[in-house]
């Protein structure tokens, strides 16, 4: 029992390392990458605090050098899914009963371990396993993850502090219980921090978790689990399994103790999950919380008053960093004809200067896309644009998977605003631009709103305040993260809570108290100090 009202250290965002030439951090990560590349890691699952090796091995290859072997992970089957669920259920009672300051300490310690001695491990496994340059790895695997861990601990305290009023003679209290059962975290390949946070945030709130990462993020997911063990996370609180998605889903979504689902990934997968939960609704002990952040078709709309250089830079950074594989990446852009030539010239020039290759070579701005499946899908969209008569490829368009899955940064100009690459999520370094007449700004806003089923991120560029105001009103429901004169990527924990609605998810804003509230089920307690001893009310007295 806590004997004090404790305060979590007030969080500040982790400073982003510059890794400039000659710096000690650059030397350190370069040496660490060499070390990682020189050995083949044996990557076990973690169930009930045990390392599980099945002997059924699958390779971990860098997307930018697919013939190199970084290691192998042990693939699990149905038995491991069931074991992981059981381990989570077994650990629940003790973990849920542990006072919150102890839970917070573990996650705060993990944040400091990542900030210090394990920074190279989490960045290095992300750089090689997911093909991120050092800057992209640093802002994701190190900084965002540290921020998630620290800010969430702080937000947990603010939730616990939120208590109801009490009138004379009573004391009303709210107790934020973890959910009954276990939480299932299903995570995508593109952000190490998202994967870790989807498992860690329900655990922080007192839940126990089965975590199934994407097959292409296992290297850095394993690194995070090593760090959590070092931080003192008790056995069974997070159980990490490498199992087939649909097979795992079939077992988990049928389980009566499923307390919640914390998902990030594609809209298609999330809609499947939601249907499965609906199908099984009568079998659960409690209604499972379903939290999902999914796809996007994120936009930039430039107004005739905007600066062409600012617009072009936002397109390049917002569209091509991490090869456009951010859910927030700019992928459809609406440019007015009065600035188009200037935007186009800068785009063509800047794109020609982008270097692409291995993240081990720090001069590269771009690296490889995640795997063969993604490569083929993105290439297919580019081929469609090359063959179309209502679109043309302005820059890039070449794809080469001989050594790694490399796709040139590609800009398509669509003459039809409904051209396929203006509408569908591509999840690669492909940006499509539609040029509109400046007097049609308001109609174009309507087009932006209605073109895609998603509503994740979007940006307006303008120097005209009335135009900004109009865009904000017309696009009120078109993006959960809306940017004014900035690229639509790069949300920072504690500053721009992240998430979208419509087809993009349940908008529960990762890295905020809004998200953490989904992992608790409040118990209202009313205590009366002097209970009445007579059922009669004064109004019932004789006249």
**Which of the 8 DSSP states describes residue 70?**
-
Taking CB under 6 A as the criterion, the residue among 61, 294, 421, 481 binding ligand NAD is 294
Q: Shortest Cβ distance from residue 371 to ligand NAD (Å)?
A: 9
Q: Shortest Cβ distance from residue 214 to ligand NAD (Å)?
A: 4
Instruction: Identify the active-site residue in 138, 144, 321, 327.
Output: 327
What burial letters (b/e) apply to 400-427, b meaning 16+ CB within 10 Å?
ebeebbbbbbbbbbbeebebbbbbbbbb
What burial letters (b/e) apply to 320-332, b meaning 16+ CB within 10 Å?
bbbbbbbbbbbbb
Interaction with ligand NAD in 492-511: which residues (CB under 6 A)? Answer: 498, 500, 504-505
Q: Is 377 in the site for ligand NAD (CB under 6 A)?
A: no
State the Cα–Cα distance between residues 86 and 53, nearest whole angstrom.
18
Taking CB under 6 A as the criterion, the residue among 186, 330, 385, 460 binding ligand NAD is 186
Q: Is 187 in the site for ligand NAD (CB under 6 A)?
A: yes
Cβ(497)–Cβ(514) below 8 Å: yes
Straight-line distance from the first to the last Cα atom of the chain, in angstroms, rounded to the nearest whole number: 53
Q: Shortest Cβ distance from residue 326 to ligand NAD (Å)?
A: 7
Question: Strand ranges (DSSP E) for 303-427?
Answer: 330-336, 391-395, 399-400, 406-407, 410-414
Task: Extract the tokens encoding 414.
Answer: 């669509």
Q: Is 206 in the site for ligand NAD (CB under 6 A)?
A: no
| Secondary structure element (H or E) that encloses residue 281, with its range | none
The two counts, helices (H) then strands (E), for the chain are: 17, 23
Task: Extract the tokens encoding 471.
Answer: 């865009």
Taking CB under 6 A as the criterion, the residue among 189, 242, 334, 434 binding ligand NAD is 189
Q: Shortest Cβ distance from residue 246 to ligand NAD (Å)?
A: 4
Q: Shortest Cβ distance from residue 373 to ligand NAD (Å)?
A: 9
Q: Which of 375/441 has CB closer to ligand NAD?
A: 375
Query: Any idea which residue has 């921020």 for tokens?
Result: 147
* Torsion of the alpha carbons at 508, 512, 514 and 520, rounded to the nearest 10: 110
Tell me, by CB under 6 A, how many residues bind ligand NAD: 31
Q: Is 194 in the site for ligand NAD (CB under 6 A)?
A: yes
| Secondary structure element (H or E) that encloses residue 470, with its range | helix 465-474
Q: Is 264 in the site for ligand NAD (CB under 6 A)?
A: yes
Taking CB under 6 A as the criterion, the residue among 9, 117, 246, 278 binding ligand NAD is 246
CB hemisphere CA count around 17 (13 angstroms): 25
Q: Which residues are bridge partners to 215 per DSSP?
A: none
Catalytic annotation present for 423? no
**Strand 71-74 vs strand 57-60: parallel, antiparallel, or unpaired?**
antiparallel
| Binding region for ligand NAD (CB under 6 A) out of 99-107, 147-155, 187-195, 460-468 | 187-195
Cα–Cα distance list, 177 to 261, 289, 516 (Å): 17, 14, 12
Rg for the chain, CA atoms, rounded:
25
Q: Which of 76/500 has CB closer to ligand NAD?
A: 500
Instruction: Identify the active-site residue in 293, 321, 360, 425.
Output: 293
Q: How many CB atoms lie within 10 A of CB 501?
A: 15
Interaction with ligand NAD in 309-368: which residues (CB under 6 A)? Answer: 327
Q: Which of 61/305 has CB closer to ligand NAD?
A: 61
Q: Is 427 in the site for ligand NAD (CB under 6 A)?
A: yes
Catalytic annotation present for 14? no
Q: Shortest Cβ distance from residue 448 to ligand NAD (Å)?
A: 18
Q: Shortest Cβ distance from residue 461 to ligand NAD (Å)?
A: 23
Taking CB under 6 A as the criterion, the residue among 212, 297, 317, 346 binding ligand NAD is 212
Cβ(42)–Cβ(58) below 8 Å: no
| Binding region for ligand NAD (CB under 6 A) out of 154-162, 182-190, 350-358, 432-440 | 182-190
Taking CB under 6 A as the criterion, the residue among 197, 214, 421, 489 binding ligand NAD is 214
Q: Shortest Cβ distance from residue 519 to ligand NAD (Å)?
A: 17
Q: Is 296 in the site for ligand NAD (CB under 6 A)?
A: yes
- Phi and psi at 204, nearest 5°, equal -55, -35
Q: Is 482 in the site for ligand NAD (CB under 6 A)?
A: no
Q: Is 295 in the site for ligand NAD (CB under 6 A)?
A: yes
State the Cα–Cα distance between residues 318 and 168, nearest whole angstrom.
56
| Binding region for ligand NAD (CB under 6 A) out of 7-15, 150-158, 288-296, 391-399 | 288-296
**Which of the 8 DSSP states describes residue 498?**
B
Q: Shortest Cβ distance from residue 82 to ligand NAD (Å)?
A: 15
Packing angle between helix 100-115 and helix 119-130, nearest 10 degrees? 70
Taking CB under 6 A as the criterion, the residue among 11, 181, 249, 259 binding ligand NAD is 249
Binding site for ligand NAD (CB under 6 A): 186-191, 194, 212-214, 245-246, 248-249, 264-266, 269, 272, 293-296, 327, 425, 427, 456, 498, 500, 504-505
- Supply the residues annotated as catalytic: 293, 327
């Amino acid at each position: 029992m806590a004997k004090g009202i404790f305060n979590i250290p007030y969080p500040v965002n982790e400073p982003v390392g510059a890794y400039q030439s000659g710096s000690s951090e650059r030397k350190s990560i370069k040496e660490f990458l060499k070390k990682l590349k020189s050995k083949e890691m044996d990557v076990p699952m973690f169930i009930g605090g045990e390392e599980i090796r099945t002997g059924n091995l699958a390779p971990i290859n860098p997307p930018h050098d697919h013939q190199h072997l970084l290691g192998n992970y042990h693939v699990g089957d149905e038995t491991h899914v069931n074991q992981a669920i059981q381990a989570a259920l077994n650990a629940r009672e003790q973990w849920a009963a542990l006072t919150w300051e102890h839970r917070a300490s573990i996650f705060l310690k993990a944040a400091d371990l990542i900030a210090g001695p394990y920074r190279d491990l989490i960045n290095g496994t992300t750089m090689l396993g997911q093909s991120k340059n050092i800057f992209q790895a640093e802002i994701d695997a190190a900084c965002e993850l540290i921020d998630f861990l620290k800010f969430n601990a702080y937000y947990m305290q603010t939730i616990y502090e939120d208590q109801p009023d009490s009138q004379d003679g009573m004391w009303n209290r709210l107790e934020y219980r973890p959910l009954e059962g276990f939480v299932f975290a299903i995570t995508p390949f593109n952000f190490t921090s998202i994967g870790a946070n989807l498992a860690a945030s329900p655990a922080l709130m007192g839940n126990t978790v089965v975590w199934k990462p994407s097959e292409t993020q296992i290297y850095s997911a394993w690194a995070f689990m090593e760090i959590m063990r070092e931080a003192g996370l008790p056995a069974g609180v997070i159980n990490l399994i490498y199992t087939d998605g649909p097979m795992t889903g079939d077992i988990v979504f049928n389980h009566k103790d499923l307390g919640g689902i914390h998902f990030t990934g594609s809209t298609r997968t999330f809609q499947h999950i939601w249907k499965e939960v609906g199908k099984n609704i009568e079998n659960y002990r409690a209604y499972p919380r379903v939290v999902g952040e999914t796809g996007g078709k994120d936009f930039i709309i430039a107004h005739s008053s905007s600066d062409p250089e600012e617009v072009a830079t936002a397109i390049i950074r917002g569209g091509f960093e991490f090869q456009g594989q951010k859910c927030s990446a700019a992928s459809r852009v609406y440019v007015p004809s009065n600035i188009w030539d200037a935007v186009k010239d800068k785009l063509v020039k800047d794109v020609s200067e982008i270097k692409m290759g291995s993240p081990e070579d720090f001069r590269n701005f771009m690296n490889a896309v995640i795997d063969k499946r993604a490569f083929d899908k993105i290439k297919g969209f580019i081929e469609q644009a090359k063959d179309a008569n209502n679109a043309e490829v302005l820059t890039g368009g070449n794809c080469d998977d001989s050594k790694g899955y490399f796709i040139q940064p590609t800009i398509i100009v669509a003459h039809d605003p409904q051209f396929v690459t203006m509408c569908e999520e591509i999840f690669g370094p492909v940006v499509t631009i539609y040029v509109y007449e400046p007097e049609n700004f308001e109609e174009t806003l309507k087009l932006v709103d209605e073109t895609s089923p998603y509503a994740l991120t979007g940006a307006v560029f303008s120097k005209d305040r009335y135009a900004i105001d109009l865009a904000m009103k017309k696009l009120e429901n078109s993006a959960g993260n809306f940017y004014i004169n900035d690229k639509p990527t790069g949300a920072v924990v504690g500053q721009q809570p992240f998430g979208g609605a419509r087809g993009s998810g349940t908008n529960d804003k990762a890295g905020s108290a809004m998200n953490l509230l989904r992992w608790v089920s409040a118990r209202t307690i009313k205590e009366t100090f002097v209970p009445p001893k007579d059922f009669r009310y004064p109004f019932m007295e004789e006249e």
